[in-house]
Structure 1
Amino acid sequence: MSSETAIDLNNNPLTLWNGPLGLPDFTRIGSGDFGPVFDAALAAHTEEIDAIAGSANAPTIENTLAALELAGDPLDRVSAIFWCMAGANTNDIIQATEREISPKMARHFSAISMNAKLFARIDELYQRRESLGLDPETLRVLEKTWKRFVKAGAKLDEAGKKRLAAINEELASLGAKFGQNVLADERDWVLFLDEPDLSGLPEFLKNAMAEAAEMRGQKGRYAVTLSRSIYEPFTTYSERRDLREKAFRAFTGRGETGGPTDNGQVVKDTLRLRAEKAKLVGYDSYADLKLDDTMAKTPPAVLELLGPVWKKAREKAGQDQVELERLAAAEGSNNPLAAWDWRHYQEKLRAEKFAFDEAELKPYLQLERIIEACFDVAGRLFGLSFAEKKGITAWHPDVRVFEVRNADGSYRGLFMADYFARPSKRSGAWMSSLQSGYRLGKGSSPVIYNVMNFAKAAEGKPCLLSLDEAKTLFHEFGHALHGMLTDVTWPSVAGTSVSRDFVELPSQLYEHWLTVPEVLEKHALHYATGDPMPKQLLDKMLAASTFGAGFATVEFTASAMVDMAYHSRSDAPENPLAFEAQTLERIGMPDAIAMRHRTPHFQHIFSGDGYSAGYYSYLWSEVLDADAFAAFEETGDPFNPELAEKLRRHIYAAGGSADPEELYTAFRDKMPTPDAMLKKRGLLPMRAGEEL
């Protein structure tokens, strides 16, 4: 009996979710269960697609477009669980399955996109779209579906279709390999230290490093790992320049080891195949292909944004570097300022300028309180409430589950959160969903999750966050709200299914509420005393809010410019790392600052297709988010109810149901200029009396 017939998709824990609150029953799911279920679900989806494509009835929205959107439910379910575990709690079995299933999935969806009979039905609806009397959302879904098929090769001849399918399959394998190589380098590198090596380190960092060492079987010692939650504060506070350099070189050298986890060839092959794919479907470059359905539209439009930002950021970083070199010389250093020195002396400069040490904030930024702040702001803006449901098994014991309700008490959905770093989890922070919210067919309620990589505190100790980590929590929760508040009919435009340079608006905008004084006064309470953050410290924190903007903007924008340089070529560079170096030299990258994501570990653009030719979108969205929050500031009330309702309706609830410019203009009555973003970052001087 084949694996397809051996699996009952109507009675399998990966596809029939009958656990608590309608979640998967994770107690019945093992790492080795996925392969056969994937095979059965892929076969079932193929049957559904063949039935739609082969229908003898004339195509209608219901029997073609709606049927296509609702097809593949078992595949959606097993995929949601698998990709969640592959990112957040992987192991050798899951990684082997990932290497096997990634090309299978690519092959499967290529076949759908290139199904001539299916496309003929969609094309017929598309050609008659103006006469069908469609509502705006349905018309948009039809147009986006048609364009997606065309970009995926539906109009190619058979040879072209075959080649494009092979490219997609190979790219999927390369993306899986890239991510697994980075994870392996992060997991396998550790620097164990002892008490004499800890000069300059604050208590919170020592506690986190002790916990990390104990997790790795070295109780009584301290571990520097490549988790940002440990790496960044270590290179900020450690007085040991030699150790800072070791950590820096390991962090920036991920994926460039020269061994089996080296990503050099993976990157080269990926860029070559992407360039070929773009040409096959009629685009000059891969960036042209990816940007076609975004707000930016073209590579020159992206560079119009990045160029002025880069110039101002580099100028500011240059001014700061003079100050950092002064501090280093005062301590007797004769060495040129290096990239492993920047965070260290920047923190000392912050203390000098503002009498402010960011470590002072830590006792007031307790994880539990910041979670409460996220929920509180969502309640005040959108009327949501969150109730934790204890004792529910998820993909890892650290995962927490919250039931979400609307202001009237009606059910909204579920929010799941996985906050702590571990070797089985890839680095970074992200939002995704086990289930989207939409009304089509029987409808669906959202099940949204956030994943973080905060350093877990030792037993009995509170988990204290840096300001950047607290902002990250708010950022990812903003994405989660985008998923939870979705109010659309069609699954393909639900939640975060929007253009790449619009998707960061809800998340980056939400960060602003963290530093609203009344939010901090209520939730930034000392973990030991319960006292609120002193006004003097709050004022110093707000005064220093744009400090280091030159460094932060340079390291980010350099990554965005390298991404765009790779993908706006008509061909692929023969030596990507040499091309990276040449690009940085051409734009004038400061020697003492490293890219935030160097090519060999740039997971946003190489571990899958998500942000390829799209890393700029964080800055593009930041132009929007700075302007959007300014709308609240103009009213004098950061929780202005009329504006909050417009924000909910046009930004958080609308998903991709309308053009993003149309949605933003409906909220703000205009499109913004970059000025508000540059002012927010401290890169553009404000006029006298002007406030952000």
Structure 2
Amino acid sequence: MTLFSKKFSTKYETAPFSQIKMENYKPAFEENIKAAKAEIDAIINNPEVPTFENTLEALDFSGNALDRLSSIFFNLNSAETSEEMQKIAQEVSPLLTEFSNDITLNEDLFKRIKSVYDQKDSLDLTTEQQTLLDKKYKSFVRNGALLNDEQKAKLREIDTQLAKLKLTFGENVLAETNNYQLHITNESDLKGLPEGAIEAAKHLAESKEIEGWIFNLDYPSYIPFMTYADNRELRKELAIAAGKKAFQNNQYDNQNNVKDIVRLRHERANLLGYASHAHFVLEERMAQNPDKVKSFLNDLLEKAKPAAEREFTELTAFAKEIDGIDHLEKWDGAYYSEKLKQKLFNLDDEKLKPYFKLENVLNGAFTIAEKLYGITFKEVFDIDKYHKDVKTYEVLDFENQLVAVFYADFFPRKGKRNGAWMTSFKSQSIKNGVNDRPHISNVCNFTPPTPSKPSLLTFNEVTTLFHEFGHGLHGMLANTVYPSLSGTSVYWDFVELPSQVMENWCYEPEALALFAKHYQTGEVIPQEYVEKIKESASFLEGIATMRQISFGLLDMAYHGKAQTIEDVKSFEEAAFKNTKLYPDVAENCMSTSFSHIFQGGYSSGYYSYKWAEVLDADAFAYFQEKGIFDKEVATKFKENVLSKGGTEHPMTLYKKFRGQEPKPEALLKRAGLI
């Protein structure tokens, strides 16, 4: 019996990270897969007539120990990986894929589900039960339940290959990120850089026992260098290094992985009777089909392009005026944008950062959640962590009842992938009258504290923290019966609504007054800075929108129809043709490190960031009408969106909250595009 085969005897049954050893994982996966199979067999061999309870409900609550083990292992593989862990991931991923296929391709199990599904109109089911029945039936059909034996075998083969390819893709990107460093020995090469970035680079060099300063491709190191370093040649070197990750014809090259993933996804979709991977994916999205996505993106493009071209011309003229540069290159974008922003608004991150001490910003997010949703966050020190940097919190309601356990992991380190994400170590559900509360985690890569300074965030990092915290609230406030419908288990183009709407509070004076205080003097951020933050919110928004649209169009190009990709770089260039502003860089290719669509869950779904922006702008307009801390609007949002998970169609939930469908005008207005 392994550590993972019984309930943890820890506080709130939290993961006992300090007790887990690497050698525990594989035997635990094997044992828990076996136990989960036995649970499935018990459902299939139940002599009673199939009912919703003995089939659908039993299925949804089966494999609980395996789910927990998987969430712990794969979360740590993203936040705290090692070569040993990556090797285990490569070994257990095919086992999990096979197990998943064993369920969805099990004819006897599908017969029981179909038997209940065929009589659904005569059953007295709640809305949530109807949703579960529909989703489970569909998920079996979408995973090959109606295929013949030969086709099922083919599907299993494709799924196993895809699981391995996606893992390899991510490992290659991480290896390429870790393999590069810009080593600076001449102090004059640091000109323009903020003191904090220089100190962090010195600190990094010291940690490697190297003289001088080290910059790398982790965002807290990369972004300040690209934004502030006066040395154009070094900006170019760093930008090219970032852009050629996994595109260097070496052992970490992802070009063939991209081709194979795209080909196999298309084959899989065809096998299941869909015209393309995008048709398959979008059937379970608010957007419904590729044509609707393309027309949504092209419609936005039409509105954003004139603004983007105007902004790019303005930026080019500005670079020529101050530095005599004739052609703006990709490594110039962030640098001159920042300079122009300072000129227009006299506002830069270095002025703002002292007001955004990480702890204060986090407490600000907590306070806003308390004002809106009536929950409090209390740091505790008796919950096990997987790394010393992680902080743990009890989330309580006004009656001091546990709402959730919250983990916060904010600093970059070797073995942690770039970016920011929310995840869960345990999902919420209600069984036998007991509401099992979730364990939610936010993982980010913010500028760490140095010997002389606390962690001070850029405004962009502030919005990132609020964004992931919004996802976190979606998980923490979950209140559904069934685990597979809980929290963020919603249509992918709806999942970004709670996160993106949360960012809006970062721009509101009333909210900023709660947490934007100078880390040395305690002085609240000056009103003129707040006004400038709001004014500059739509600065170069046309260019930013074009960039997001270009990624969405590239995703649809890969997944929207059958094609043979001879050359990944040429294919990418063709997809970017209508959104291109900067000259191309021959050494660079975005696709080979486009982890969102080739490793994460965003394939055929990258458009959902813009889609959700339409929802979030419309939703926040409602808060603004009534007051940004209005209890009535907040309660509607909590009860109809945050707590409901995937229990109903998202548009139904949205209309219950808002009283109407979302209108894109709010977004276009906020972005300054109309």
SS at match of 1:590: coil
> How does 1:30-429 map onto structure 2 within 5 Å?
30-194=21-185, 195-218=187-210, 221-390=212-381, 392-429=383-420
Asked whether the 8 Å contact 2:547–2:579 carries over to 1, the reply is no
**Which has the higher mean CA deviation after the structures are superposed, 99-108 or 12-21?**
12-21
Displacement of 1:316: 1.9
Deviation at 1:128, TM superposition (A): 0.4
Match status 1:492 vs 2:500: no
Give ranges in structure 2 of 5+ residues lacking alignment.
none
The amino acid across from 2:26 in the alignment is: G
Q: Which residue of 2 aligns with 1:689?
A: none
Query: 1:51 Cα deviation (Å)?
Result: 1.9
Deviations 1:414-454 (A, max 9, x none): 00010001111011110110111111345421000010011
- CA distance in structure 2 between the partners assigned to 1:228 and 1:415 by the alignment: 24
Corresponding residue for 1:654?
644
Contact 1:435 1:448 in 2 (8 A): yes
Distance 1:551 1:303 in 2: 19
Please state how far the C-alpha of 1:570 moved relative to its aligned partner. Answer: 2.6
Note the alpha carbon deviations across 1:505-525, whole angstroms, 9 max, x for none.
000001111221112122111
Partner residue in 2 for 1:640? 630
Match of 1:565 among 538, 548, 557: 557
**Match of 2:556, SS?**
helix
Shift of 1:47: 1.5
- The equivalent of 2:594 in structure 1 is 602
* 421-430 or 571-580, which deviates more: 571-580
> How far apart are the structure 2 equivalents of 1:14 and 1:387?
30
Structure 2 equivalent of residue 683 of structure 1: 673
Deviations 1:614-673 (A, max 9, x none): 0111111110000000001112x1011111110100010010111100000000011112
* SS, match of residue 388 in structure 1: strand
2:408 is paired with a residue of what secondary structure?
strand
Structure 1 CA distance for aligned equivalents of residues 513 and 633 of structure 2: 23
Greater alpha carbon shift after TM alignment, 433-442 vs 487-496: 433-442
Contact 2:4-2:65 within 8 A present in 1 as well: no
Structure 2 counterpart of 1:474, one-letter code: F
The Cα offsets for residues 80-139 of structure 1, whole Å up to 9 and x where unpaired, read as 110111000000110001111112111110111000000000000000001111011101
Amino acid at match of 2:482: W
Query: Structure 1's 572 and 125: CA in aligned 2 closer, same or farther, altered over 3 A?
Result: farther
User: Offset at 1:385?
Assistant: 0.2
Q: Give the 3 Å change call, closer, same or farther, for CA 13–286 of structure 1 in structure 2.
A: closer
Offset of 1:588 from its aligned partner? 4.0
Q: Deviations over 1:472-513 (max 9, x none)?
A: 000000000000101111111100000000000000001111
Deviation at 1:314, TM superposition (A): 2.7
Residue 471 (1) aligns with residue 466 (2): no
CA–CA separation in structure 2 for the residues paired with 1:146 and 1:338: 51
Amino acid at match of 1:395: Y
2-structure distance, mates of 1:262, 1:15: 41
Does structure 1 retain, via aligned residues, the 8 Å contact 2:565–2:571? yes
Unaligned runs of 5+ residues in structure 1 are 1-7, 685-692
Match of 1:4 in 2: none
**Paired residue type of 2:665:** D
Q: In 2, are the aligned partners of 1:271 and 1:572 still within 8 Å (CA)?
A: no
Aligned-pair CA distance for 1:15: 5.0
Which of 478, 501, 507 in structure 1 is aligned with 2:493?
501
Cα distance, 1:54 vs structure 2: 2.3
Aligned partner of 1:667: which letter?
F
Query: Residue type matched to 2:522 in 1?
Result: G
In 1, Cα distance between the equivalents of 2:232 and 2:579? 26
The alignment covers a number of residue pairs equal to 671
The one-character-per-residue Cα deviations of 1:526-575 (angstroms, maximum 9, x if unpaired) are 11111111112221121111112122212221111100111001345233
CA contact (8 A) 2:509 2:527 kept: no
Q: Distance in 2 between matches of 1:606 and 1:594?
A: 22
Residue 532 (structure 2) pairs with residue 540 (structure 1):
yes
Measure the CA separation in 2 of the matches of 1:445 and 1:217: 45
Please say which of residues 321-330 and 508-517 is displaced more in the overlay: 321-330
Q: 1:668 aligns with which of 658, 669, 672?
A: 658
TM-score, length basis structure 1: 0.94
Indicate the larger mover: 594-603 or 143-152: 594-603
Distance 1:362 1:576, change over 3 A: same
Q: Helix, strand or coil: the match of 2:242? A: helix
